[in-house]
């Protein structure tokens, strides 16, 4: 229903601005501001809930709660270089945090195995992308790029990834961006089956993976933002005790 406003000093009745419901223009403005504030609080609550879930899941996987925060920040930095318009989709940020949510369905004996997985264990592990998508597909805040990240972040540019064997630009761009961020973090942090490598070693492996594992444009973005990513890594290292305890 259209709201008619009558302005002070007009040729109507000289009254203050009001609507047929008896609300003045000031009242309407206050209601709009209140609604905006409530929406902002709700978005903050969503973000905090997603971050808490990510930390809980990460503790199950590796014993810490910091991996998801690290890869999220790396991926946002890369997205800003590759396709800044993607940053308008808030679901992508949530997808970065919850990319491994499907691992909740993977036994700890596989997740924390201190040795390479055998073929059966690897097949089981690879189901976590589809499990994650199924778990989150009914959540409005993940619809869009977020779900694409969850399902497709283990696809490879050459088509040898999973779960769908997508290749090249068939892979959602958000997932291609995340794949580089995830690999960077995996190579520079301890895993149950190996110790952390160096930043330089990770950078070399990412470069070698261009057009094989990774989108070459995203690898170029990594090179362009490497200094910023290295600085982010140092900042996160300083914050990590708080991230884990939070």
Report pLDDT for 236.
81
Burial class (CB in 10 A: 0-12, 13-18, 19+), 46: middle
Q: Round to whole Å and give the CA distance between 93 and 107.
A: 27
Report pLDDT for 52.
62
Report pLDDT for 73.
95
Task: Kindly state the percentage of the chain with pLDDT values over 90.
Answer: 50
- Residue 111: pLDDT band with limits 50, 70, 90: confident
Q: Round to whole Å and give the CA distance between 127 and 107.
A: 12
Higher per-residue pLDDT: 125 or 104: 125
- Give the residue-averaged pLDDT of 132-145: 89
- Give the residue-averaged pLDDT of 65-82: 90
pLDDT tens digits along 154-178: 999 999 999 999 999 999 999 999 9
- Mean pLDDT for all residues in the chain: 83
Domain 25-245 classified CATH 1.10.3210.10? yes
Q: Do 158 and 108 form a contact (C-beta atoms < 8 A)?
A: no
Given a cut of 60, whether residue 17 has pLDDT beyond it is no
pTM for the whole thing? 0.76
Lowest-confidence pick of 4-8, 54-58, 226-230: 4-8
Q: Do 172 and 96 form a contact (C-beta atoms < 8 A)?
A: no
Lowest-confidence pick of 61-75, 84-98, 227-241: 61-75
Domain ranges of the chain: 25-245
pLDDT tens digits along 25-34: 777 777 777 7
Q: What angle do CA 103, 109, 114 make, to 5 degrees?
A: 105
Compute the 3-state secondary structure of the chain and give helix, strand, coil in percent, each to the nearest 5: 65, 0, 30
């Amino acid at each position: 229903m259209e709201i008619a406003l009558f302005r002070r000093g007009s040729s109507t009745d000289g009254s203050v601005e009001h609507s047929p419901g008896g609300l003045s223009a000031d009242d309407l403005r206050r209601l709009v501001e209140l609604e905006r504030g409530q929406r902002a609080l709700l978005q903050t609550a969503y973000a905090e809930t997603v971050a808490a879930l990510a930390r809980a899941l990460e503790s199950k996987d590796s014993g810490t709660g910091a991996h998801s925060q690290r890869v999220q920040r790396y991926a946002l930095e890369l997205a800003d270089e590759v396709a800044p318009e993607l940053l308008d989709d808030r679901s992508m940020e949530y997808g970065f945090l919850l990319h491994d949510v499907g691992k909740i369905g993977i036994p700890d004996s596989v997740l924390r195995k201190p040795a390479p997985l055998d073929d059966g264990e690897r097949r089981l592990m690879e189901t976590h992308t589809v499990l994650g998508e199924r778990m989150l597909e009914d959540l409005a805040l993940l619809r869009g790029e977020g779900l694409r990240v969850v399902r497709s972040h283990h696809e490879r540019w050459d088509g040898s990834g999973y779960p769908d064997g997508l290749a090249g630009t068939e892979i959602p761009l958000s997932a291609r961006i995340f794949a580089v961020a995830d690999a960077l973090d995996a190579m520079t942090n301890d895993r149950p089956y190996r110790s952390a490598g160096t930043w330089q070693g990770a950078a070399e492996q990412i470069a070698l993976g261009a057009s094989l594992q990774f989108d070459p444009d995203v690898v170029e973005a990594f090179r362009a933002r490497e200094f910023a990513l290295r600085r982010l890594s140092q900042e996160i290292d300083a914050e990590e005790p708080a991230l884990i305890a939070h």
